[in-house]
A and B are shown apart, each in its own frame.
Chain A
Amino acid sequence: MLLWETLGTAWKALGASKLRTALTTLGMVIGVGAVVTMLAMGEGARAMVEGKIRSLGTNLLSVTPGAPARGPVRTGSVETLTWDDARAIAELREVARVSPESMGSAQVRYLAKNMTSGVVGATVPYLAVHSYDLTAGTAFSDNDLLARRRVAIIGANVARTLFGNLSPVGERIQIKGMSFKVLGVLEEKGNEGFSSPDDQILVPLSTHQAALFGRDYLSSIALQVASEEATSRVQTEIKRLLRLRHRLGASAEDDFDVRSQQEMLQVMGQVIGIFTALLGSVAAVSLLVGGIGIMNIMLVSVGERTREIGLRMAVGARRRNILLQFLVESVIVSVAGGLVGLGLGAVGAAGVASVAGWPMVVPVYAVVLALATSFGVGLVFGVSPARRAARLDPVEALLHE
């Protein structure tokens, strides 16, 4: 009875100035939309990372130069790992494959087309360790490495950019002005987080070091352990071996870091979590702004409807009836904005997901959070105007012009 009267009044009051109501709602639409998009982005990225952990397996280790860092930021020297370190690691028991790698970046050209691409110095086990396949041509051989031949395997995007629909195999491309013969093309992997093999070019590690970049240290050593349960044993063995090889005293810190692939992906997951929380809280600020907008309009509404409030009091409305009336109105505006924002956020998340190539996930907690937050914002920012209305003196309200 009273509920219907309250809802009816709210409906008429909000419908009386549709543009104003819509603009008031907009603050919540944008706020909730932004928060939902941010949370969905974070969840999408996380889902992708988890998918990778599952597909990679847990028997991969990665050795990187420099002291182990707690977070994603690496400190210390980065010129400590050598090819000889990799050869020594390969001698250890329970190590199946070792892939020493050196990263560089160079201008690449084919006829009139050119691009900047990551150039990776690799050895024969590279493809097997990373479980990459070729769609065309062949991989390079030990002979190519021994002879420092100028041959290359190119990523799918590189092939598309330089060659379009033509077959790259057997063609010659220019890397840093030197001519390389294309042996094969990598299959397309899609986005793998921070870098994608699709955008890279593989060359023999010997050629990479001697001809292209003139350095003899490595960016990383990736290796496959014979079995999953051997992983931590091998991790310890590598540490012992490298400390010995690098002549580190008992008190010296490691100048390298050995991590399992899983640990690295967990670190990435943490980074994603931090970014999600950060972006989410920035977006949450707009909720605050939306709430202030609602409060502002509700104060205006209380002022405009002072006589109506006086009349309602005269015919028997209690103070809490008036309070509830205005609270209901602000909560309706806020929750309506939250619902529209939820839809908009889902659309935004779908858009980002399709661009970034990760699964579209709108987590249940984000939906609950968005609705609860918009309800809460309506309540919190509606209280002050509603109290102002409820505390009006009936006589003054009735005489208000």
Chain B
Amino acid sequence: METVDSNALSAQHLVKIYNPDRPELAVRAVDDVSFTVERGESVAIVGPSGGGKSTLMYMLGCLSRPTSGSYLIDGRDVARLSDDALAEVRNRHIGFVFQAANLLPRRTAVENVMLPLAYAGARGARERALEALERVGLAQRAAHRPNELSGGQLQRVAIARALVTRPSLLLCDEPTGALDSRTGREILDLLEALNREGTTLLMVTHDAAVARRMRRALRIGDGRLEADGPTEEVLDGAPARASDAGGG
């Protein structure tokens, strides 16, 4: 149990098959993937489109269950949890940042950040939401609605929403994909800073420049884990694949 505890997450022989009941339609989207991530790591998940990156991320984010294999997050085996328990894991242990900010349009920034706390049943939600906004540098925009904020500000609100329950794992799916390069760099700076403070960071990206900001990279192709190691080695070790990752 000592070793399990030092890991933020541990995936063993993860398999995800879509339409497992109908062999002619069955798709092995993730095929026997095993790896562990220690607390405080920053990991990029790279690979070609349709290679299984997103499917893997949804399983790591507890949004779907593996068909087989085990997945432990903070020592708990997610594959065996009920829907309600999965919702609680997402609520307390995982923060999501998607390509689109996905904010509720008619709510202010602070109200959007408070949303996960409502489902957690936490007290002092507004104060904690304001703290989270302060951490992403948007305290002065707390009362603004999404249509009054820029793209970078929207993504910062989304990051604050992901942080507000103090999760151990931050899952990012192309967080800079919809932003210009300068704003994208600012968002990455922010994520890096959060990582230095101890949050485990997992980032799905097809952009090599973004991936290089992470210390470690996993390359997924055809559902299999093709490479796992320091980012520079994974990206440069197989030039053909690296250009794939760079070109999207």
Residues of A within 8 A of B (CB): 1-2, 4-5, 8-9, 12, 15-16, 307-308, 311-321, 393-395, 398
Contact = CB atoms under 8 A, between A and B. Distances in A.
A308 B88 contact: no
Nearest to A311: B102
Contacts of A2: 118-119, 121
B58 A315 contact: no
A315 B84 CA distance: 12
**Interface range on chain B (Cβ under 8 Å from partner):** 20 to 34
Nearest to A4: B118
Interface stretch (B90-98, B134-142, B147-155): B90-98
A319 to B, nearest CB: 6
Interface string B107-123: 10001001111111111
Contacts, number: 72
Contacts of B111: 8
A307 B102 contact: yes
A391 B111 CA distance: 25
Given A394-B63, A395-B64, A318 B119 contact: yes
B64 A394 contact: yes
Contacts of A16: 106
A395 B58 contact: yes
Contacts of B120: 316
Given A1-B121, A1-B122, A398-B98, A316 B106 contact: no
B125 interface: yes
A319 B96 contact: no
Interface in B174-203: none
Contacts of B116: 315-316
Q: Which of A312, A314, A319, A398 has the most CB of B within 10 A?
A: A314
A313 B106 contact: no
Given A314-B61, A315-B91, A315-B115, 14 more contacts: A1-B123, A1-B125, A15-B106, A311-B104, A312-B119, A313-B90, A314-B90, A315-B90, A316-B91, A316-B119, A317-B87, A318-B87, A318-B119, A319-B87
B42 interface: no
Nearest to A307: B102
B156 interface: no
A314 B107 contact: no
Contact of A393 (B64, B96, B161): B64
A322 to B, nearest CB: 10
A393 to B, nearest CB: 7
Given A314-B96, A395-B58, A395-B64, A5 B118 contact: yes
Contacts of B121: 1-2
B145 to A, nearest CB: 11
A313 B87 CA distance: 7
B205 interface: no
A316 B90 contact: yes
A311 B90 CA distance: 11
Contacts of B87: 313, 316-319
Nearest to A316: B91
A401 to B, nearest CB: 11
A398 B83 contact: no
Q: Which of A1, A9, A16, A316 has the most CB of B within 10 A?
A: A316
B231 interface: no
A300 to B, nearest CB: 17
A317 B98 CA distance: 17
Contact of B161 (A4, A5, A315): A315
Interface in B52-99: 58, 61, 63-64, 83-84, 87-88, 90-92, 96, 98
